[in-house]
Amino acid sequence: MASHARVASTTVTTRDAARDTAHDGAHDGAHSAAVAGDGGAASVRVGIALFLAALCAFATFDAFCKQMLATYSSPFMNLMRYVATSTIAAFWLARQARHGVSLRLWRAPHRGLLLARSVALACVATAFMTALTIMPLAEATAIYFTSPLIMVALSPWLLGERVGPMQWTAVIAGFAGMLLIVRPGGDLPWTGAVLMAIAAVSYAFFQLLTRRLSGLVAAPVQYAYMAVVCLVITGTPALFALPAAWPGWPQLLLLLAGGACSGVAQLLLLAAFRRAQASILAPLNYLQLMLAVLISTFWFDRPPDTVALAGIALIMGSGAWLALRRHNTRAGAPGGGASAPSR
């Protein structure tokens, strides 16, 4: 989930990478510098392919969660997700330990920022998963995708970045799109809309903290720290919301496989950002929102109405314009602008 990180997803900011860290997750800021000198066309094509695979994985995970939430509680779904993600993180960290990466997460540098970043993603996961129990997938994802607009709005105060009039216009247009989705008199539950707004704001802070940590902490350490903290925070409520009948092994393995899908999506995002610049990948992120609309329409038989579709289009257009503008700015002035994010 665009949560659903959600490490991830990657949309525009002046906002990751890859969800979850990649939607679950994923963060682009830590890798933008690494790919700056990697201009090979083949590498960029591979990066784009990996990024698209990550978006499909995130969209699949969100749809899977929406389906399974009819049977299991949102805390239990998050527990399964982060058990799987923590297992992936443990294997990755153990492998990287042979190359000098420390296994002692409690001794990692910048622990305060790492903890704040992980708590922000735990808030994303909790709010997003809870909202999915009562919100249609398309509208929920669209509200979540206002996160890059929130990042642009916050960047002058939190990052000291300049936001021009055209960028502010795009931000206002995107927020107008959100208002069309959650308009008074519509049939969306306000509780779900508020939870998705909390998820979007939390993910914006997650990406801001990801950018602060860029180049300071190794990616496997950030990923593992995130997985463990999210497991503890989202897993604790699950102890009070366990299913009445414990799932059998086939169902349990299916739930863990769904969680692994989110964790793998984060790794795909990280791999994508090592091969292509965030400014190239960010505009593609809105394909995930299109997938959410299609899945909501044809899988769950819950298409957005005409007004909501107009709102979704405004959010997509505003975010994509900001991403493309960022790419053009970087093309003309290397190093300028801000990082693109992920889920």
pTM for this prediction: 0.80
Query: SS3 letters for 93-110?
Result: HHHHHCCCCCCCHHHCCC
Output b/e per residue, 262-275; b: 16+ Cβ within 10 A.
bbbbbbbbbbbbbb
pLDDT per residue as tens digits for the range 266-324: 999 888 888 888 778 877 888 999 999 999 999 999 999 999 999 999 999 998 888 77
User: By mean pLDDT, which of 46-55, 174-183, 333-342 is the weakest?
Assistant: 333-342
User: Is a pLDDT exceeding 90 seen at residue 200?
Assistant: yes
Q: What is the pLDDT of residues 45-68, one digit of tens each?
A: 899 999 999 999 999 999 999 999
Residue 343 has pLDDT above 70, yes or no: no
Phi/psi for 305 (5° steps) reads: -75, 175
Could you tell me which residues are beta bridge partners of residue 3? 5
- Tell me the percentage of the chain whose pLDDT exceeds 70: 83
**CB of 64 closer than 8 Å to CB of 257:** no
Query: What average pLDDT does the structure give for the chain?
Result: 82
**Measured on CA atoms in the order 119, 125, 128, 134, is the torsion positive or negative?**
negative
Return the pLDDT at 330: 52
Per residue in 229-274, pLDDT (tens digit) is 999 999 999 999 999 889 999 999 999 999 999 999 999 988 888 8
Region of poorest pLDDT, from 10-19, 125-134, 266-275, 318-327: 10-19
pLDDT number for residue 28: 39
Res. 214 pLDDT band, cuts 50 70 90: confident
